[in-house]
């Protein structure tokens, strides 16, 4: 059958109800990363594994993503109280997914993360990924809404890791640019471009992005005049 070629069935044991289920994941050979968008959204050739990142238990509705860390003991009680009990109807998202299904799966993971009090950076990355999915759907309004909440959450995020700190600074500037908050974008990019200890990787990303933006912007201004 066709699905055998594109997906494999991953076996999961649900953290909450402890039942076992299988859920589709894209086979590694069925997609290729072609490039990435300026906010690091991978552009794939073939299927999009992003759609299958979150596993949703078809029995109780618990959503699991590999970035979740509060998946044990007292946190599970919080999730049961605030999330599981409120679910009216559990959806089965274990087979082939549409972009909307994928958005739902990330929204559920977002709720799980929120109720188990995960670090803001976990929530920020979920919001960013939902924005990417909205971009794939060409739903600009929803994309902007999720980018805005991703930026808010990145502002609240803290990390002691240099790479992820720089990634976050870059993303805040990049998201600001997309939201039309040019002042904030400029501030963020210049911090990365002129900062003493900034890695070459993010200094170059920031330089390129800000130069491209200025070039496109001047071009548009000239075309309009």
Q: Does 17 bind Zn ion (CB under 5 A)?
A: yes
Q: Does 79 bind Zn ion (CB under 5 A)?
A: no
Q: Does 83 bind Zn ion (CB under 5 A)?
A: no
Q: Does 84 bind Zn ion (CB under 5 A)?
A: no
Q: Which segment (61-69, 86-94, 176-184, 188-196) binds Zn ion by CB under 5 A?
A: 61-69
Q: Does 56 bind Zn ion (CB under 5 A)?
A: no
The residues, any chain, with a CB within 8 Å of residue 132's CB and separated by 6 or more, are 37, 39, 41, 50
Q: Does 102 bind Zn ion (CB under 5 A)?
A: no
Q: How many residues bind Zn ion (CB under 5 A)?
A: 7
Q: How far is CA 16 from its chain centroid?
A: 23
Of 92 and 194, nearer to Zn ion (C-beta) is 92
Q: Does 76 bind Zn ion (CB under 5 A)?
A: no
Q: Which of 50, 56, 57, 192 binds Zn ion (CB under 5 A)?
A: 57
Q: Does 22 bind Zn ion (CB under 5 A)?
A: no
Q: Does 213 bind Zn ion (CB under 5 A)?
A: no
Q: Does 63 bind Zn ion (CB under 5 A)?
A: no
Which tokens belong to 69? 């860390």
Q: Binding residues for Zn ion, per CB under 5 A? A: 14, 16-17, 57, 59-60, 62
């Amino acid at each position: 059958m066709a699905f055998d070629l594109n997906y494999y069935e991953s076996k999961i044991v649900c953290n909450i109800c402890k039942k076992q289920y299988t859920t589709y994941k894209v086979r590694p050979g069925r997609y290729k990363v072609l490039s990435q968008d300026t906010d690091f959204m991978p552009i794939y050739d073939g299927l999009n594994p992003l759609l299958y990142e979150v596993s949703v238990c078809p029995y109780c509705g618990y959503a699991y993503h590999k970035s979740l860390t509060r998946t044990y003991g007292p946190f599970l009680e919080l999730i049961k109280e605030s999330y599981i009990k409120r679910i009216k109807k559990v959806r089965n998202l274990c087979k082939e997914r549409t972009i909307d299904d994928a958005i739902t799966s990330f929204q559920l993971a977002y709720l799980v993360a929120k109720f188990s009090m995960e670090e803001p950076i976990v929530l920020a990355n979920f919001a960013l990924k939902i924005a990417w999915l909205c971009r794939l759907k060409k739903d600009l309004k929803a994309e902007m809404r999720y980018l805005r909440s991703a930026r808010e959450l990145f502002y609240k995020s803290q990390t002691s890791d240099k790479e992820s700190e720089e990634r976050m600074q870059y993303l805040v500037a990049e998201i600001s640019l997309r939201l039309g908050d040019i002042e904030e974008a400029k501030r963020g990019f210049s911090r990365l471009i002129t900062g003493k200890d900034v890695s070459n990787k993010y200094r170059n990303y920031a330089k390129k992005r800000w130069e491209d933006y200025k070039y496109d912007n001047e071009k548009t201004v000239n075309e309009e005049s």
